[in-house]
Structure 1
Amino acid sequence: MQVNSEWEVPKYELTEFKPKAHKYCVCIPVINEGEKIQKELKRLSHFASVIDILILDGGSMDGSLNHEFLFSKGVRAILIKKDIGKLSAQLRMGFAYALSEGYEGIITVDGNNKDSVESIPLFIEQLDKGMDFVQGSRYVPGGKEVNTPLIRKIAIKLIHAPYLSIIAGFKYTDTTNGFRAHSRKFLMDSRLKPFRNVFSTYELLAYISAKAPRLGYKVVEIPVAREYPKGKIPTKISPLRGNLLLIKILFGLLFGKYNPRSE
């Protein structure tokens, strides 16, 4: 299948290790995560028999994504972004490739080894049931959080989740969590149009969460675990700056900044 010519997709370098084998894939955005992504892939390799694994690399320079290692862990392909943009750009890149390959559903999970990748079968189950957007949450019954930074927890529970829930018309509990699943039908909806350059940092995560229920798609939250390491949390963005960015994106959602021009 060809990528839609109207889609704005970052330039990337593709290396495929094996052909498509399953109807769903898991996309892992990552950049310079070192041992964390390697540990995650070792855990995730147990599920290579039921789902295809795709790496969405933002341009790692730490040697953690050695091709021989990726192949040994059952990774199907790695896409290396050769363009501007951060997380949302990586996701656009991965979504476009996955849809062009004919996948019926796409799961996403961060590449920092904080998430319960063992929950992958739960996402597959929900996609098989016909769900269109599945949000993993540590705050629903059965979910679990370990060492969540206090400022992050306050921001999620008191600001981000309540505010986004109002915009979406659906009660979310863990809106910054990148462990999610999306149906092909939802991502291909002309009213969504996720393949636009306006999505560069974290905008696409909030936009998709808001749009799924508003467009009438089937949405559900399922329990997952997210564990932060003890002590000082390694991060590529300061907590204050990160939370301010998330709030800025929420205001953008409220005022329709990310809506397609036709709306």
Structure 2
Amino acid sequence: MLFVVLPAYNEEAGLQPLLDDISKACQGIPLQIIVVNDASTDHTLEIARDYALSNPAVQVLSHTRNKGLGGSLMTGFKHVFAQRRMLGEQSGEWIGHDDVILTMDADNTHPAERIPLMAELIQQGADLVVASRYAPGGKQYGLNPLRQVLSWGAGQVMTVFFPVEGLRDYSCGYRAYRASVLESAYIIYGEELIESRSFAGMVELLVKVANYCGEIREIPFDLHYEKKQGKSKMKILATIMGYFALILRLKKEKWGWVEWVGE
């Protein structure tokens, strides 16, 4: 089973085209799409619910207050874990080892056409597949220079502090996880799997889950930010501070202040 988790905050313009693209790209694949409405103030919730009425593969969860990207992902993940347990109990069989949890932005800037390949790589043995703008063949369009520098710089900094072999794109949220691996990380970390409130939460999730992955693959994709309509949710200063806070917190947790400073 492929579970697609879509955190959505004020994405009324891009959500329906994305749902159409996912449904088209994933024809023939057992699929559930979980839209997590993060207390949107536009028509995101209504669009998602209307879509679910005609497409049983779509499920809609909704926050009454905004919990941020990390909180929305956690809501979606826990829902998937519960679904997997329920399906296992109904079938009387072991929960599917090859189930996939895929995350992507709900603003239609991530091309759904890459989903089948990412799911296939999990089936072939990868535990984590990252769609990367920086892998050979990857591109990005419509991103302002400051955002480009921030995304690239985040990867460079994280490579120094938390190196993951072969990985270039640490901040992109377009990823496929082996569900059993992600659930194992959740069992270990609990609600602390994603503590960061800013977009640094995507980096935090990657760093923590990577510790439990055997094989990690990175594939190129084209980020089409020119398709995004409306104002970006990323607050540049908060995101930069979030990255530094994440580094300090994870280093302190791993080695303690004395060892970290000595390093």
What TM-score do you get using the length of structure 1 for normalisation? 0.78
Is structure 2 residue 158 aligned with structure 1 residue 164? yes
Check 1:152–1:254 CA distance in 2 against 1; reply closer, same or farther (3 A cut).
farther
Q: Deviations over 1:43-74 (max 9, x none)?
A: 22212542221111111232233322333355
Per-residue deviation, 1:238? 2.9
Alignment pair present for 1:120 and 2:98: no
Change (3 A) 1:99 1:28: same
The residue number in structure 2 matching 1:32 is 10
**Please, which of 45, 51, 54 is the counterpart of residue 34 of structure 2?**
54
Check whether the contact 1:86–1:200 (CA below 8 A) recurs between aligned residues. Answer: no
Once the 2 structures are TM-superposed, how far is the Cα of residue 88 of structure 1 from its aligned partner? Answer: 0.8
Structure 2: gaps of 5 or more residues? 85-95, 257-263
In 2, Cα distance between equivalents of 1:230 and 1:56: 21
Contact 1:53–1:74 (CA<8 Å) still a contact in 2?
no
Corresponding residue for 2:171?
A: 176
- Aligned amino acid, residue 62 of structure 1: D
Q: Secondary structure at the match of 2:191?
A: coil
Q: Deviations over 1:142-197 (max 9, x none)?
A: 3221122211221222x311222231442422211000011122112258734315
Equivalent AA in structure 1 for residue 154 of structure 2: H
- Contact 2:128/2:216 (CA < 8 Å) preserved in 1? yes
Which of 243, 250, 254 is the equivalent residue of 2:251?
254
Deviations, residues 213-249 of structure 1 (Å, cap 9, x unaligned): 4335221111122111289972123333333323332
Are the counterparts in 1 of residues 126 and 215 from structure 2 also a CA contact under 8 Å? yes
Distance in 2 (CA, whole Å) between partners of 1:29 and 1:203 is 15
SS of 1:199's equivalent?
Answer: coil
**Structure showing the higher helix proportion among its residues:** 2
Sequence identity percentage: 23
Which amino acid letter does the alignment assign opposite residue 214 of structure 1? N
Partner residue in 2 for 1:199: 195
Aligned to 1:5: none
1:69 paired to 2:51: yes
1:226 aligns with 2:208: no
Provide the C-alpha distance between the structure 2 equivalents of 1:235 and 1:217, rounded to a whole number of angstroms.
35
Amino acid at match of 2:226: P
Aligned residues: 235
State the shift of 1:110 in Å. Answer: 0.7
TM-score when scaled to structure 2?
A: 0.78
The 1:61–1:230 alpha-carbon spacing in structure 2 relative to 1, beyond 3 Å, is closer
* Distance in 1 between residues matched to 2:175 and 2:39, nearest whole Å: 23
Structure-2 change in CA distance of 1:233 and 1:253 (3 Å): farther
The aligned residue for residue 41 of structure 1 is 19
| Structure 1 residues 38 and 233: alpha-carbon distance in aligned structure 2, compared to 1, 3 A threshold | closer
**Could you say what the CA RMSD is over the residues aligned between the two structures, in angstroms?**
2.7
1:155 aligns with 2:133: no
**CA distance in 1 between partners of 2:252 and 2:166 (Å):** 20
Which segment drifts farther, 148-157 or 194-203?
A: 194-203
Alpha-carbon distance in 2 for matches of 1:199, 1:143: 29
Aligned partner letter, 1:237: M
What is the CA–CA distance in structure 2 between the aligned matches of 1:231 and 1:196, rounded to whole Å?
30
Distance 1:237 1:162, change over 3 A: closer
Does structure 2 retain, via aligned residues, the 8 Å contact 1:206–1:250? no
Distance in 2 (CA, whole Å) between partners of 1:204 and 1:194 is 14
Letter in 2 for 1:165: T
Cα deviation, residue 84, structure 1: 5.9
Shift of 1:75: 4.2
2:233 is aligned with 1:236: yes
Provide the C-alpha distance between the structure 1 equivalents of 2:179 and 2:223, rounded to a whole number of angstroms: 26
- Return the alpha-carbon distance in structure 1 between the equivalents of residues 211 and 19 of structure 2: 34
Q: 1:95 aligns with which of 45, 68, 77?
A: 77
User: Aligned letter for 2:74?
Assistant: R
Contact 2:70 2:196 in 1 (8 A): yes
CA distance in 1, matches of 2:222, 2:22: 15
Distance 1:169 1:62, change over 3 A: closer
Letter in 2 for 1:57: N
